Amino acid sequence: MIKKIGLFTSGGDAPGMNACIRAVVRTAIYHGIEIFGIERGYVGMIDNMIIPMNSHSVSNIIQRGGTILKCARSTEFMTVEGRQKAFVNLETHGIDGLIAIGGNGTYTGGIKFYEEFGIPIIGVPGTIDNDLYGTDYTIGYDTAINTALQAIDKIRDTADSFDRMFFVEVMGRDAGFIAMDVGIGGGAEAIFIPEFEESIEDMVAMIKKGWGRKKTSQLIIVAEGDEHGNAFEIAEAIKKRIPDFEYRVTVLGHIQRGGSPSARDRVLASRLGQAAVDGLIKGYNQEAVGIVNDIITYTPLAEAIGKRKEISKDLVKLVEILSN
């Protein structure tokens, strides 16, 4: 029987985390379980930044971006001594179950912590990258791609006005989900993502082909983790092959993480928050909650971070077809 749950957000923030916090807190209260918020993730666990939460604690937060529990990255938690401090603090509060909202690093820390101290943990996928296996979508992804798309639409306007090519860099250090969706949605001529190796020579040929069709502006989307480098490096590589090539580079950066979450992210976060509490009650442990084909699922944490979530090759083909 789970009597006291500790809840925290860790790693990078994502729109919808507050909606998930709200759902976890109110679901726990519904089942008569005490709920504690751990501020600043694993840092707060070590520094005893643990506070009791009630229904009022999560009032009027569902529409807010970021996370009221704050995020942080902890090097101390990577040590045995740091994890021991965290365990003592949780034990002092009587916490016998954990819910972690975050991504790969958050899940990795949760696995290690359970192995050493045996506190059951459920992971909730909170990352704009959408790169966790075991769920069709992660919390924050829908908001991030819509934020990026709004910016890209504006860039397209100025690209058309000046007859220029724009390289737009979006987030995605290890995964190209954001780049792929905003590229297709924004009508990009090409998309560079880590999952597939694109040819600079093919890009040069495409640019020249576009000019031959009197195409006056072109838009290239680059995931920050592409194997050719960032948007500046790719643009420079093309300029070496086309000396009179004129371009501009825009890096959208952390704007993609902020803002009020979309309706889809609020609903997704609420469903996953409830399912996380339900999972602990049912005795699930070291599982990541997710939604696949609109059905709640549970995937082992090790599998959620160990298996690669694939981008459909059909989407890659679609980009090629639509860029003509």
Q: E strand or H helix at 299, and its extent?
A: strand 295-300
Tokens 């820390």, located at residue: 109
Q: Is 181 a catalytic residue?
A: no
What phi and psi values does residue 249 have, to the nearest 5 degrees? -120, 135
| DSSP structural state of residue 229 | -
Output b/e per residue, 208-233; b: 16+ Cβ within 10 A: eebeeeeeebbbbbbbbbbebebbee
Catalytic residue among 96, 129, 181, 265: 129
How far is the C-alpha of 87 from the C-alpha of 146, rounded, in Å? Answer: 39
**Torsion sign over Cα 203, 204, 205, 208:** positive
Residue numbers annotated as active site: 129
